[in-house]
Amino acid sequence: AKGLGRNTLCYFDPDMQASVSANAAVGAALRVGLREKQFVVHYQPQVDRQGAITGVEALVRWQHPEKGLVKPADFIPVAEDTGLILPLGMWVLETACEQLAAWASREQTAHLSIAVNVSVYQFRHPNFVDMVMAAIQRTGIRPHRLKLELTESLLADRMEITIQKMGMLKELGVTLSLDDFGVGYSSLSCLKRLPLDQLKIDKGFVADVLTDPNDAAISRAIIALAQSLSLQVVAEGVETQEARDFLAYLGCDQFQGHLFAPALPIETLDAFLRNPSPD
Ligand code: C2E
Ligand code: CA
Ligand code: CA
Ligand code: CA
C-alpha cells in the first residue's frame, strides 16, 4: 500500500466524492426551502458600554421539516457555491428592513439598528447596490439603521471596484462594518481607503482574550487601529463579564455575545427588548 504513495489520494478521495454529492443534495433542498419559505431570521442583541441595546445582528436559520433548526455553517457555504446565496441573502435583507420599519413606529425601538451579513458573492453582484436601495425605499426605513457586515475576503482583490461600490452604499446612507476582522489578511493601507464605520473583532480572538496573550495582543491592536481610523469597534462572542470588562478597558465600544443574549427569534427578542434582565 505504501508503494501507491501520497498522490493516489489526489486522484480519488472518497471523502471528497461524498461531500460533493452531499452538497448537491443540500443545494436541491435549499432550493425547495427557499420556495417553501423555510428560512427564519434570528436576532442577536448588541450592547454599548453602558449595557444599553443599540441594535441586533440578523442571523439566518433554516427551519428544515425533518432536521429541525439548521445553523448557517451547514448551508451558507453551499448557498454560496450554488448561487442561492443571492435570493437567500436578499430575503434576509428584505426581512431585516421590514423589521426596522416595524420598529420605527414604536418609540422604544425606533433607535435600533440591524446588521445584515453580506457574502462576497452578493456584494460582487452588479445589481447589489440597486437591490439594497430598492429594499430601503420599499420599506421606507432610515438607511443608517441598516448596517451591512462585509468580510475581509472582499479586500483580497479588485480593490478599486470594492472601494467604489462601498462608496455607493455609503451614498445610500447605510452603515458599513468589516466583519471577522483580524482573521484574513487585509493590509492596513487598504483599510485606510475604505469608507467604513465599524470593525468587528472575530469571536476567535475574543474567546480566549483573558488567557491567551496572543489573542489579547491582537484584540488590543485591532481596537487601537479602529480608534486611530475613527471607527467603532464591536467585539462578538463575548461570553463572560471578565472578557467584557477587559475589552471595555481596551476601548471596545460595543459587545455582542451569550453574556447578553444569543440570537433570538423575533418574538423572544421583542419580549427581551421590553425587559432585558428579568428578575
Ligand atoms: P458571524 O457573522 O461571525 O456571526 C457570529 C456567530 O457567532 C453567530 O453564529 C452567532 O450566533 C455566534 N455567537 C454569538 N455570540 C456568541 C458567543 O457568545 N459564543 C459563541 N460561541 N458564539 C456566539 P451563527 O448564527 O451560527 O452564524 C454563523 C455564521 O454564518 C455567521 O458568522 C455568518 O458568517 C454566517 N451567516 C449567518 N447569517 C447569515 C446571512 O444571513 N447571510 C450570510 N451571508 N451569512 C450569514
Ligand atoms: Ca457577522
Ligand atoms: Ca465571526
Ligand atoms: Ca486562541
Over the stretch 90-133, which tens digit does the pLDDT of each residue have?
A: 999 999 999 999 999 999 999 999 999 999 999 999 999 999 99
**Nearest residue to 219 (alpha-carbon basis) of 207, 230, 228:** 207
Mean pLDDT for the stretch of residues 215-244: 96
Q: How far apart are CA 114 and CA 246, in angstroms?
A: 26
Q: Is the ipTM of this complex over 0.95?
A: yes
Mean pLDDT for the stretch of residues 16-40: 86
- Exposure string of 189-199, with b = 16+ CB inside 10 Å and e = fewer, is eebeebebbbb
The residue nearest atom 3 of ligand 1, judged by CA position, is 180
Ligand 2 is an ion; residues with CB less than 5 A from it:
117, 149, 179
| pLDDT confidence band for 275 (50 / 70 / 90) | confident
Residue 10 has pLDDT above 60, yes or no: no
What pLDDT score was predicted for residue 18?
65
Residue 5 has pLDDT above 60, yes or no: no
The residue nearest atom 41 of ligand 1, judged by CA position, is 60
| Orientation of helix 128-139 relative to helix 85-104, angle to 10° | 30
Mutate to test the pocket of ligand 1, among 236, 238, 239 (most ligand atoms within 8 A of CB): 236
Angle value at C-alpha 80, between 77 and 84, nearest 5 degrees: 120
Residues with CB under 6 A from ligand 1: 44, 59-60, 71-73, 76, 89, 92, 117, 119, 179-180, 203, 236-239, 257-258, 263
| pLDDT confidence band for 16 (50 / 70 / 90) | low
Mutate to test the pocket of ligand 1, among 56, 61, 95, 117 (most ligand atoms within 8 A of CB): 117
| pLDDT confidence band for 181 (50 / 70 / 90) | confident
CB 131 within 8 A of CB 90: yes
Ligand 1 atom at minimum distance from 239 CA? 18
What pLDDT score was predicted for residue 228?
92
**Nearest residue to 227 (alpha-carbon basis) of 189, 201, 199, 185:** 199
Q: Which residues contact 262 (CB under 8 A, 6 or more apart)?
A: 44
**CA 208–ligand 4 middle distance (angstroms):** 6
Ligand 1 atom at minimum distance from 202 CA? 3
Measured on CA atoms in the order 66, 117, 20, 183, is the torsion positive or negative? negative
pTM: 0.92
Q: How far apart are CA 251 and CA 207, in angstroms?
A: 17
Q: How far apart are CA 237 and CA 183, in angstroms?
A: 14
**CA 160–ligand 2 middle distance (angstroms):** 24
CB 234 within 8 A of CB 206: no
**CA 106–ligand 3 middle distance (angstroms):** 31
Q: How far apart are CA 139 and CA 261, in angstroms?
A: 27
Q: How far apart are CA 222 and CA 164, in angstroms?
A: 24
